[in-house]
Amino acid sequence: MEEKQILSKNPFGLNIALPQKSIQEVQKVAKQELENITVNPFIEYFEENEKVFSGEVANEIKKYQAQMYSLGQVMREGQPHSSLNIKM
């Protein structure tokens, strides 16, 4: 003959019933914490670095490079050209 184990509907230690309101509160808090951990840092990162992603920073860099080049040209033109004058 086979022995059949009869398990109760709720095994020992798991037969505690939690109020539905408590379960909903835990779910609500868990959802908020999960958003704070995963979603909010990404949103904050993109908000802080919006100029980088929109291309404003690249345009500013190009503008400053053009200014530096122009300033270099003016400075090079203003320098006296040295010539090789050797007196013997």
Which pLDDT does position 59 carry in this prediction? Answer: 92
Which pLDDT does position 84 carry in this prediction? Answer: 62
Give the residue ranges of DSSP H helices in 4-55: 20-48, 50-54
Contacts of 29 (CB under 8 A, 6+ apart): none
Contacts of 51 (CB under 8 A, 6+ apart): 57
Flag whether the pTM goes above 0.95.
Answer: no
Contact 35, 42 (CB under 8 A): no
Question: On the CB side of 76, how many CA atoms lie within 13 Å of its CA?
Answer: 6
Question: Comparing 20 with 27, which gets the higher pLDDT?
Answer: 27
Q: Give per-residue pLDDT as tens, 52-68.
A: 888 898 999 999 999 99
Token pair for 12: 């020992």
Q: Where are the domains of the chain?
A: 26-76
